[in-house]
Structure 1
Amino acid sequence: MPSSHSAAVSALSTAIGIESGLSSPLFAISAIFSIVVMFDASGIRYQAGQQAIVINQMHKDFQTLIIKAKALPEKNSDEKIEDLKTLLGHRPIEVFFGCLTGIIYPFLFILLSKKIDNRMWII
């Protein structure tokens, strides 16, 4: 369910924020990059998917109209037009949970790496 795009860019921004600090220019750039990617995933790509649904339905209706009006036989499979992809983007809730997942993962990675480092010193 969560958006992998949102998770990836928010994990990147979180990791940069941890390493470079929240006031660093690198974090600012990565945060803006994350916002653009998440906006694209939730807004533009989602709307393109919704448009694809409508266009696919229009295509089917048009084909039905032609077949009924002219009583033409079905076209060869080589001539058929493929449907457009309708699952291009994410709903806002999917982007939110993807972002939340991406923020949590760097902190978990840091905790796990510290435990591994401590065990190596014990051995």
Structure 2
Amino acid sequence: MNNDILHNIPFIAAALAVIIAQASKPFINAIVDHRFDWSLLHSTGSMPSSHTAGVIALLTGIGMTEGIGTVDFAISMTFAAIVIHDAMGVRREAGKQAEVINEWSRILSDLHREGQFTPENLKTMLGHSFSQVVGGIVVGLVVGFSITGYILAH
């Protein structure tokens, strides 16, 4: 049994899924919004969900290497469900609240032009829509099956 993390197939699949999903965000944004934004390389939110891609690739890698009846698979399934729920629920709602707070900050700033009030914008793109999570699931499944299958075959 090799305890080296760099030989851990599910970890490799998950890490690559996160990198691929995150790296694709500026390009997908350029296609959808006709605006290339390099800052999406290190940003939360946007299409596809790299969090979802990572946990689904991890889940897929564990399922393929250890089986779906294992404790590790059950743990990764639970972990994936929590991460996906958080991405679509809590973080998305926090982003909506940040939009409202930012608007109030702009209003207060206009009321206090003398510089007494200086708003700091909160990050509004925290969570993911359903389609962004589905995009992450697709990336995670493709990378998980591809990487795990390739490594197991060699």
Q: TM-score, normalised by structure 2?
A: 0.64
Q: Aligned equivalents of 2:149 and 2:62: distance in 1?
A: 16
The alpha carbon displacement at 1:114 in A equals 5.7
User: How much has 1:108 moved relative to structure 2?
Assistant: 1.0
Asked if the contact 2:52–2:136 (Cα under 8 Å) also holds between the matched residues in 1, the reply is yes
2:55 equivalent to 1:17: no
Superposition deviation, residue 60 in structure 1: 1.2
Q: Which has the higher contact order (CA 8 A, sep 6+)?
A: 1
d(CA) in 1 for partners of 2:151 and 2:94?
41
- The sequence identity of aligned pairs, in percent, is 39
Per-residue deviation, 1:11: 0.5
Cα distance in structure 2, aligned partners of 1:20 and 1:34? 17
Q: What per-residue deviation string (whole Å, max 9, x for no partner) do you get for residues 47-77 of structure 1?
A: 100110001101111222344xxxxx234xx
Q: Which amino acid in 2 is paired with 1:24?
A: T
Q: Which residue of 1 aligns with 2:129?
A: 91
Counterpart of 1:30 in structure 2 is: 76
> In the alignment, which of 23, 40, 65 is matched to residue 111 of structure 2?
65
Report how many residues are paired. 108
2:64, 2:148 within 8 Å by CA — same for their partners in 1?
Answer: no
Give a deviation string over 1:61-105, Cα, whole Å, max 9, x none.
1222344xxxxx234xxx723111111111111011101211121
Q: Structure 2: 5+ residue runs without aligned partners?
A: 1-46
- Under a length normalisation based on structure 1, what TM-score does the superposition of the two structures give? 0.78
Give me the whole-angstrom Cα distance separating, in 2, the residues matched to 1:110 and 1:8.
13
Unaligned ranges ≥5, structure 1: 68-72, 118-123
- SS for the counterpart of 2:54 is helix
Q: Work out which of the two has the higher radius of gyration on C-alpha atoms and give 1 or 2.
A: 1
Aligned residue in 2 for 1:110: 148
